[in-house]
């Protein structure tokens, strides 16, 4: 269920960020997910959590991270965090990241890393507020049509 929804969302973000052409974005997104999750959500070292509110019968969102080895040690790399639209801007993402910090620490992980698309201003503001520091910044300026 999650992957089926995530693939078109990822494709849209890659098109919006001018990284992929729309015509091949869905295929490229599928290939990316196939590589990241060859065994689906059961792929080792990948962890999927439902973000819950006791007052809501179903989850309000989800967070996916993978344990990755870096030169400094093992980290949690957040691949996706999703809050359902009607629950956004209510503190659920902030609470999920606080829980993630505890989870990462309990697993002996050194830190948490993530990627954020430049056009996702709300997410960037959240990560800034939570104390995440930019480690790399890629920039792009379109000067002509990709098909020209």
Classified as helix, coil or strand, 39 is coil
In 3D space, the residue among 104, 53, 113, 36 whose CA is nearest the CA of residue 78 turns out to be 113
Span 63-67, mean pLDDT? 98
Span 126-131, mean pLDDT? 97
Question: What pLDDT, on a 0 to 100 scale, did the predictor assign at position 148?
Answer: 58
Contact 138, 19 (CB under 8 A): no
In 3D space, the residue among 41, 30, 51 whose CA is nearest the CA of residue 100 turns out to be 51
**pLDDT band for position 130 (50/70/90)?**
very high
Domain ranges of the chain: 1-39, 45-138
In Å, how far are 40, 83, 94 from 89, measured between CA atoms? 29, 9, 9
In Å, how far are 22, 95, 142 from 14, measured between CA atoms? 9, 27, 14
Residues 6+ apart with CB under 8 A from 114: 77, 78, 79, 127, 132
- The structure's pTM equals 0.92
Tens digits of residue pLDDT in 29-54: 999 999 999 999 999 999 999 999 98
**pLDDT band for position 147 (50/70/90)?**
low
Query: What CATH number does the domain located at 45-138 have?
Result: 3.40.630.30
Mean pLDDT, rounded, of the chain: 94
- What distance in Å separates the CA atoms of residue 101 and residue 14, rounded to the nearest whole number? 28
Tens digits of residue pLDDT in 101-117: 999 999 999 999 999 99
């Amino acid at each position: 269920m999650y992957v089926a929804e995530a693939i078109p969302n990822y494709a849209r973000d890659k098109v919006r960020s001018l990284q992929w052409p729309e015509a091949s974005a869905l295929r490229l997104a599928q290939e990316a997910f196939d590589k990241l999750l060859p065994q689906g959500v059961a792929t080792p070292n990948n962890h999927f959590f439902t973000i819950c509110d006791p007052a809501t019968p179903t989850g309000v969102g989800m967070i996916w991270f993978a344990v990755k080895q870096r030169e400094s040690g093992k980290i949690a790399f957040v691949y996706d965090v999703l809050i359902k639209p009607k629950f956004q801007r209510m503190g659920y993402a902030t609470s999920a990241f606080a829980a993630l910090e505890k989870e990462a620490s309990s697993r002996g992980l050194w830190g948490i890393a993530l990627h954020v698309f430049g056009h996702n201003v709300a997410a960037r503001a959240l990560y800034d507020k939570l104390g995440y520091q930019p480690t790399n910044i890629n920039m792009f300026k379109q000067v002509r049509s990709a098909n020209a």
